[in-house]
Amino acid sequence: MAETVLMNVLRGDIARLQRCTSIVTGEEGDLPRAKPLKVYCFEKDIVMYARLNKLDYFYTECIYAPDSYRAYSRSFVKDLERMRPECILGLIKSGELMMVKEEVSMPTLTNCTRCGYISSQKICKACLLLEGLNTGNTDIGVKRKPKKVTVAVDSSTEQSCGTCSCENNVTAEF
């Protein structure tokens, strides 16, 4: 849970941050989900609970997980935990306390047009990834499209980078 909060904070994804810290998600839709073990339980405690009660629990890690963004967050959180064990609960509490101002428009949850699962986009990430795998275009659903920004350059000051003759408008991709 703490690694998810950290990832959402670092990405600046406040919508996901609020969904991940809520004890009940999707209450306005058809499938509300309660997270009773979320309330300040460590991941190892949840795994032990699942094993003791013989619950189906998927704990096999994906082969690509060690190089993922989540793996780096998990490693960072574990390093923090070694130094200060209370930081895990502090991260979770901080995520809960981050509130969005009312005037900020949050993405609304709808259903994916392909599979019908709950998504904040027209097509969910799972369907985009499957499309990318099926078409051989592995960038679909993974890489962000570059944003083009046009900047007006003040022509009164003569500045040159020395490698080109710049025009008044410069387009850059981010």
Q: Distance between CA atoms of 1 and 16, rounded to whole angstroms?
A: 12
114 and 91 both lie in a single domain: no
152 and 117 both lie in a single domain: yes
169 and 121 both lie in a single domain: yes
22 and 55 both lie in a single domain: yes
119 and 34 both lie in a single domain: no
Helices 87-97/2-11 angle, 10° precision? 50
Asked if 95 and 5 count as a contact pair (C-beta separation under 8 A), the reply is: yes
pLDDT of residue 137: 78
pLDDT of residue 81: 87
43, pLDDT greater than 60: yes
How many independent structural domains does the chain possess?
A: 2
Which residue shows structure tokens 């990834």?
Answer: 129
What SS3 class is residue 145?
A: coil
pLDDT of residue 6: 85
Residue 73's domain comprises 2-106
131 and 80 both lie in a single domain: no
pLDDT of residue 14: 76
- Mean local confidence (pLDDT), 24-34: 69
| Residue that is last in its domain, among 50, 76, 106 | 106
User: What pLDDT, in 10s, does the model give residues 88-119?
Assistant: 888 888 888 876 666 666 667 788 899 988 88
Residue closest to 93 by CA, chosen among 26, 27, 5? 5
Per-residue pLDDT band for 136 (boundaries 50, 70, 90) equals confident
150, pLDDT greater than 80: no
9, pLDDT greater than 70: yes
Q: What is the dihedral of CA 119, 120, 125, 131, to 10 degrees?
A: 90
33 and 113 both lie in a single domain: no
174, pLDDT greater than 50: no
Comparing 55 with 170, which gets the higher pLDDT?
55
Q: Residues 31, 62, 120, CA angle at the centre, nearest 5°?
A: 35
- Mean local confidence (pLDDT), 129-155: 68
99 and 152 both lie in a single domain: no
| Residue that is last in its domain, among 73, 106, 139 | 106
